[in-house]
Amino acid sequence: MSATIINFKNRSEGSLHAQLFLPADEKPLAFALFVHCYALSGQNFAAEAVIRGLNQKGFGILALDFTGQTAQDAKYIASSNDIIDATEYLIKNYAAPKLLIGHSIAASACLIAAKEIHNLEGIVSISGIVDKEQLSGRFKKLKYYSKFELGDHKLKLDKQLQDQLLSDKYQEDIKQLKKPILIFHSPFDDLIHINNAETIYQQSFHPKSFITLDKANHFLTNDDNADYVGKMIGSWAERYIEMQRENPLETQYQTAVRIGTTKYVTEIKAGKHHQIADEPIEDGGKDLGPNPYQFLLAGLGACTAMTLRMYANHKKWPLDEVDVHLNHEREYLKDANETNKRTAKLDKLYRHIQVKGDLTEEQRQRLLEIANKCPVHRTLENNPIIITELLEE
């Protein structure tokens, strides 16, 4: 994923550093504000997983690191006002965020700031902390700010945020939000007890959802857990957040593909549909999606099945189901007349078709002939010309 670095002033004239992530076609259907503390773990995959899950659904995301570490700003003091100021930046330059996502103490701050974000349509809390007793024991007041203890890590929070979190009104304010809310927490969270999630759930109005993260830690350092959270947020948001759907036929390109620095996770947008491509773990990827050849086989298989379905419907044949199984292999060919010639490779696509239904043998053989006439099959056999051009940045 590629990010645009955003620097802007907050209400205290301090500099805020954020990152803007757009979908693969760079045409967001809605915006989300994501405030997190994942930088404390020394890895960023968890944050990337959340962003990727939302990018796949067409969201643009403004990500704000509540620790200041991403910006390498040792002087940064986090405030709930920063969340509101980031919202104002989005409103002024893009569009109001419809989704607010917070992680850890940033989730707690998001629950405070949410009442000031008027166009909000949904809230996500990941490992948030709201219990007054658990909060109070983690603060150390200094002259100009408070230090908040999170395991072996310490964050700088302004005193206003500390007062807001320890206020008797805090949990009552959560009850007044009355927005769809999705809550994640792990019973194995080593830093924040899961009863915080239970409290948020009890204080919130329906629709509300609570997902227990089995065997996950506070920072989601296991890639599978992080990927699961990202996908679940994307699916949940699709239900509760109103998206400004564009007509895919009006876009300049039929398909857009993008890869950033995380090898080899690749975003794909085809029409209004989002996918992820990746390489297997043994090839250096994370196996988050099909590899490129599997997409190629899937295209041929899907076209084959659709073509047979259309043909059988047209003929009114009793075709109940089509299963297509495919493999891609490279076979080595040797030129017997030129023993010194380099060995060449021949790509072969193996397609095995199973048709089910009360069909005659003649009908089955005809369907086999029709399979070889499917449009993708014809395109592959016609040796299509691929025209490649560089676009301006």
User: Taking a C-beta distance cutoff of 8 angstroms, is the pair 35, 87 a contact?
Assistant: no
Q: Where are the beta strands (DSSP E) in the chain?
A: 4-9, 15-21, 30-36, 59-65, 99-103, 122-126, 139-141, 146-150, 153-157, 181-185, 208-212, 255-259, 266-270, 273-277, 319-333, 344-357
Buried b (16+ CB within 10 A) or exposed e, 277-286: bbbeeeeebb
Q: What share of the chain is helix, strand, coil (3-state, %, to 5)?
A: 35, 25, 40
Closest CA to 134 of 171, 85, 98: 171
| pLDDT the model gives residue 252 | 67
For 241, other C-beta atoms within 10 Å of its C-beta total 22
* 3-state class (DSSP) for residue 211: strand
pLDDT at 159: 93
Distance CA 337, CA 331 (A): 19
The CATH number of the domain covering residues in 4-248:
3.40.50.1820
CA atoms of 25 and 268, how far apart (whole Å)? 9
pLDDT at 334: 59
Q: How many CB atoms lie within 10 A of CB 276?
A: 18
pLDDT of residue 246: 54
Distance between CA 79 and CA 145 in Å, rounded? 10
Which ranges of the chain have pLDDT less than 70?
Answer: 1, 245-252, 332-344, 393
Q: Closest Cα to residue 265, out of 255, 253, 274, 273?
A: 274
pLDDT given for residue 380 in this prediction: 92
Strand order in the sheet with 255-259: 255-259, 266-270, 273-277
Q: Give Cα separations from 226 to 131, 167, 219 (angstroms).
A: 25, 32, 9
Looking at the chain, how many residues does it have? 393
- What stretch(es) of the chain map to CATH 3.40.50.1820? 4-248
Provide the CA 162 distance to its chain's centre, in angstroms. 31
Specify the pLDDT at position 187. Answer: 96
Question: CATH 3.40.50.2000: does it fit domain 292-381?
Answer: no
* The overall pTM is greater than 0.85: no
> Please, which residues bridge with residue 346 across strands?
331
pLDDT at 249: 40
User: Where in the chain do CATH 3.30.300.20 domains reside?
Assistant: 292-381
Distance CA 303, CA 221 (A): 39
Query: Do 324 and 351 form a contact (C-beta atoms < 8 A)?
Result: yes
Separation of alpha carbons 269 and 57, rounded Å: 9
Per-residue model confidence (pLDDT) at position 251:
47
Task: State the pairing for strand pair 146-150/139-141.
Answer: antiparallel
> What's the start-to-end Cα distance of the chain, in Å?
16
